Amino acid sequence: MLLITQHTGLPSALLLRLDGELDLFSALHLRRVLNHVATTASRSLTIDLEHVLFVDASALGLLEKVWNELRARHVVVDVINPSPRFSWLVDIVGLRSTFGLPQPDGQPAS
């Protein structure tokens, strides 16, 4: 189960906090939320993954696709507080720079 909490700061900025498991089924729900964000006035989206306990490869692939779609719509997307599970998976599949995450050695994302 995935809980998505929205926090609005500035009119054009949105923070989404994700809690729980990010699998294919919850990723489909997240996709609907993210697509809604892209059609609203939000131009900046921050996704907090600190409390994501589980991520599977299908959810990660879907998240990558939506991520690219949002960027094509000129939405600035940032990930903060990636959980150990999320970090581990993006390292294995080589998507760390796709999500703008710094390298494990502290170097900025390429």
Each of the 110 residues of the chain gets a pLDDT tens digit; together they read: 778 777 766 666 788 899 999 998 888 888 888 878 777 756 788 889 999 999 988 888 888 888 888 888 888 888 899 999 999 999 999 999 888 888 776 655 55
Q: Which of 18, 68, 6, 17 is nearest to 42 (CA)?
A: 6
Q: Which of 104, 98, 103, 56 is nearest to 78 (CA)?
A: 98
Residue 86 near residue 99 (C-beta atoms within 8 A): no
Kindly list the domain boundaries of the chain, sorted by start residue.
Answer: 2-7+14-78
Query: In which residue are the tokens 């600190």 written?
Result: 50
Decide: pTM greater than 0.85.
Answer: no
Classify residue 62 as left (phi > 0), alpha (psi -120 to 50) or beta.
alpha
- Residues 44, 25: Cα–Cα separation, whole Å: 25
The helix/strand/coil state of 36 is helix
What class has domain 2-7+14-78?
A: alpha beta
